[in-house]
Amino acid sequence: MPARRTNIAMLTALGVTVMLSSGCDRKREKEWSPLPLPRSSSSVPASSSELRPLSARQKATLLVLARRSLDAAVKSTWPPHALTGGLTIGPRLRHKQGAFVTLKKRGRLRGCIGTILPRMPLYQAVISNARNAALKDPRFPEVTPGELGEIVVEVSALSVPKKIGGYGSIVVGRHGIILRQGNRSATFLPHVATEQGWNRAQTLRHLSRKAGLPTSAWKDPATVYHVYTAEVWSEEGEAHPLSKSGATSSP
């Protein structure tokens, strides 16, 4: 089932399962260092693999945190002292979970940094990745204070990656894909292919190139695949249902 799209105006009505609008932009593909992957199911906390979906309120809270983190990082007020002020960070947001934060400016990618594995509580992963997307994405200059009003923040909460037997099991539009061969690896978030209009073979050719491999590497028997799914939402659209200073979230 393809990922669903929504914006913040719809968050009070339904859950979201979409991915990066520009998919960490194929025009800015870059060789990446090997991505960390779980060596076995025992290496991932049991609670991380079957987390319940985030509520609309929790998603809105994470957007507030991402925006506050972005502003604090760009304005050089890091670490902010009141980042979680007025917010209730309940048990669900404290579960360890992988997350990406994507920054877009006028509809184009401006930064995208994430952690695939559940190494820290979700709310902390969002805070950290928002800061890093603004200041540490090697493909872009640092975001400047003058750009903040044009930046749209998008948050992606990931499932734990699972190894699959081969590329034939990949469902375009549903799966985020991690391609690995030797010490080369790269990932595309779930709806990158859909937004670019790629079929599975085209997606994997681009992903091979992103990993610094020949475009035919996806067919090589030595290539290993992991897939994951994601809930993705952004602040683009109508007014945010929570104020930046007084939001609360359900546990």
Per-residue pLDDT reduced to its tens digit, 75-88? 988 776 689 999 99
Per-residue pLDDT reduced to its tens digit, 158-171? 999 999 999 999 99
Q: Answer whether residue 192 is part of any domain.
A: no
Q: Domain limits at 30?
A: 8-160+230-234
Asked if residues 194 and 17 have their Cβ atoms less than 8 Å apart, the reply is no
> Residue 129: what pLDDT?
97
Q: Answer whether residue 199 is part of any domain.
A: no
Based on the structure, what is the number of domains in the chain? 1
**Residue 41 pLDDT grade (very low, low, confident, very high; cuts 50, 70, 90):** very low
Q: Answer whether residue 218 is part of any domain.
A: no
Q: Answer whether residue 172 is part of any domain.
A: no
> Residue 30: what pLDDT?
39
Report the CATH number that the domain containing residue 33 is assigned in CATH: 3.30.700.20
Residue type, 203: T
Contacts of 239 (CB under 8 A, 6+ apart): 9
Q: Answer whether residue 247 is part of any domain.
A: no
Backbone angles phi, psi at 228, to 5 degrees: -150, 165
Asked if residues 198 and 139 have their Cβ atoms less than 8 Å apart, the reply is no
Q: Answer whether residue 128 is part of any domain.
A: yes
